[in-house]
Structure 1
Amino acid sequence: MTTVVKTETARPVTPLGILVEQLETIVKMAETTEIPSELADAIKQAYQLGAGIDPYIEENTTQESTALAALAEKTSQEPWSLRFSNSETVRQLEQEMLSGHIEGQTLKMFVYMTGAKRILEIGMFTGYSALAMAEALPEDGRMVACEVDQYVSDFARACFDKSPDGSKISVEVAPAIETMKKLVDAGESFDLVFIDADKGGYIEYFKMLLDTNLLAANGFICVDNTLLQGQPYLPPEKRTPNGEAIAQFNSFVAKDPRVEQVLLPLRDGVTIIRRK
C-alpha cells in the first residue's frame, strides 16, 4: 500500500506575516461584531496594506532560477516533523527555515555588489541561500557552508548537484564553531559571511569573525533572523530563548565599536555588518 504524506503548511514566522495573520482575524471578528463602519473600514484597510506587501515584492523581484525553485519545492514537500519526530537532530527542522526567494535574491545581489569571491555560510539547512549566493559568484569563486546535520547536508548536496553553480559550494558537516576554528587554523579568510544558525551561538560566531582574520579586512557579515518574529522588541516576558538570544546579539553588535551595521526589515530581519 502506498503511503501518502501530506505536505506541511507553512506558518507565518516573520513580524509582518504574524501581523497580517492577526489582522485577518480582527477583520473576521469585525464582520460579526457591531462596530462603527469607519472602524471596520480602517481595520480592513490596515489588513490590505499589510497583506499586499509580500506578494507585491515577490511580483516585482527577479524570479529565482530553476535550480532554486526546485530546491524550494523539494524542501516544502519534505515531511520534516515526521522525519525528525524522535529528536534525531540537534535542532527542530521545518520548511520555514528556508531563506526563500526575496532573501535569496537579496543575498545574491549583495554578492554582486561587494564583488565577493569567498563566502562562508554559518548554518545552511537545505541550501537555498547557499545556492543563491553561489549563483552570483564568479567561476573561480568558492563557498564553504557549515551544517551540523548530515541528513540536510545530503539533501542540499543532491540539489546542488543539479545546478551548474553547485560545484562552487563545499559543505562541512560539524558544529559551526569547530569548522570555523579549523578555517582559522588554515589561514582562511572570507569576503562575505552569512550567519543563519543556532541563535544562541550568534555572539560567539560574531566574536570569532572579528577576533580573527576569518572575516577579510573589507568583508561584510550578513545575519539572518535579527527581528525573529518581532520578539527582540517585544517585552522580555514575550520572548522565547531564541528571541532573547537575538535581542542580546543585536545589543552586543550595536555596542561593539569595531563595526557599523544596519538592521533591515527584510523577511525576519537581516543585519548587514562591516568592520570599521
Structure 2
Amino acid sequence: MTASVIYAGWMFPPLSTFVPNRLCCTHCTTFVKPPNFRPFGQQKSAPLTTSCLSDKALTTAASDHNYGNKQVISLTPRIYDYLLANVREPPILRELREETATMRGSQMQVSPDQAQLLAMLVQILGAKRCIEVGVYTGYSSLAVALVLPDSGILVACERDKNSLEVAKKYYDRAGVSHKVDARHGLAEDTLNSMIENGEGCSYDFAFVDAEKRMYQEYFELLLKLVRPGGVIVIDNVLWHGKVADPLVDDEKTKSIRSFNRALMDDVRVSISMVPVGDGMTICRKR
C-alpha cells in the first residue's frame, strides 16, 4: 500500500512499498512549492531523508533545511487500518460500502475518511445547497445528505443509470430522498441548465469526482453556481501518485496535472491540497 503526503505546501508522491514485516524506501522525487510555481518538468528537485524500520511507520523529511527537516508520516497498511477504525461511519453508509464492494468499479467509491471530511466541511460551512458531480453508488452524496438540514438540497449528477439506482435506494433507506435531487445525464449538461435557470451563486458546496479530463470544465461551471465564500472540493488530484511522475503522460494524468497547475495561479479561489484518499483539493471561492 502506498500513500501520498503533504507538509507545509510541499507535495510528496507515494514513497513506500509494503513488504511483509519490512518497510523501506530510497527515492528521489520532485516537489511543487507555492507560491513560486514552476511549469511541470522544471520543479525544484531534492532527495528525501527516510527511515527504514521493521513493521513501523515510514517517515520522510525534505532535505531543505529551511523546512526544519520536519518529518511527515507515510501511511502503511497498519496505520491506515487504525485511521479507518477511528472513522465514525453510520451503519447505513457501511451497508452501502459493503454492497458497492461487490460491484464492478467499486474502487471509484470514496473512502470512509474522505466521506467523513466532506460531511464535516458541509457542517462547518453551514451549507444548505450542495452539488455533487459524479455520484457512482452514492456513498459521498449520502454522507453529505445525512448532515444537511431538513430543508437542504443536494443536486447529485450521475451519467450511469444503474449506479444511480443503487444510490437512490440508499437515499430512500436513509430517509434523505427529499434532500437529494438526483439528475441522470451528463454533468456538464446539468450544470449548464442550472446556470441557465438562474441558479448562479446560489450553492454553498460542491464535490467533483467524475471524468478527470473534464475537471477544468466542471470547475468553471461550478464557480458560476457556488457563492462567494462557498467551497468546491476536487477528488483524485494526486491520481495514485502519477501526477508527480514525469514519465507518466496518459491523457487523464496530463489533464489532472494541468488542472492542478491552473489552480495554483487561480486568484478566484483559496486552495488547500490534502492527501486524503487519492488526494483532494479544497477550493474556497473568494
TM-score, normalisation: structure 2: 0.76
- Counterparts of residues 18-167 of structure 1 (less than 5 Å): 22-24=17-19, 27=22, 42=53, 44-46=55-57, 50-62=76-88, 64-78=89-103, 80=104, 94-167=105-178
Match of 2:216 in 1: 203
Match of 2:69 in 1: none
**Cα distance, 1:28 vs. partner?**
9.3
Q: Relative to total residues, which structure has the larger helix share, 1 or 2? A: 1
**Cα distance, 1:49 vs. partner?**
6.2
Structure 1: gaps spanning 5 or more residues: 1-11, 30-38, 81-93
For the residue of structure 1 that corresponds to 2:113, the secondary structure is: helix
Q: Relative to total residues, which structure has the larger strand share, 1 or 2? A: 2
For the residue of structure 2 that corresponds to 1:108, the secondary structure is: helix
Q: CA separation in 2, counterparts of 1:255 and 1:232?
A: 17
Supply the RMSD in Å over aligned alpha carbons.
2.6
Taking structure 1 as reference, are residues 46 and 28 closer, same or farther at Cα in structure 2, changes over 3 Å only? closer
Q: Deviations over 1:29-50 (max 9, x none)?
A: 9xxxxxxxxx996354356962
For the residue of structure 1 that corresponds to 2:76, the secondary structure is: helix
Identity of paired residues, percent?
Answer: 32
Structure 2: gaps spanning 5 or more residues: 6-12, 25-49, 59-73
Q: Deviations over 1:216-267 (max 9, x none)?
A: 12211011111110111121x2243222211111111111111110000111
**2:237 matched to 1:226?**
yes
For the residue of structure 1 that corresponds to 2:149, the secondary structure is: coil
Do the aligned residues in 1 keep the contact of 2:136 with 2:167 (CA within 8 Å)? yes
- The amino acid across from 1:53 in the alignment is I
Match of 1:86 in 2: none
Q: CA separation in 1, counterparts of 2:57 and 2:258?
A: 31
Between 52-61 and 172-181, report the one with greater CA deviation: 52-61
Do the aligned residues in 1 keep the contact of 2:2 with 2:18 (CA within 8 Å)? no
Match of 1:174 in 2: 185
Match of 1:4 in 2: none
TM-score, normalisation: structure 1: 0.78
For the residue of structure 1 that corresponds to 2:101, the secondary structure is: helix
Q: CA separation in 2, counterparts of 1:13 and 1:120?
A: 30
Aligned length: 237
Do the aligned residues in 2 keep the contact of 1:13 with 1:96 (CA within 8 Å)? no
Q: CA separation in 1, counterparts of 2:20 and 2:273?
A: 29
Match of 1:268 in 2: 278
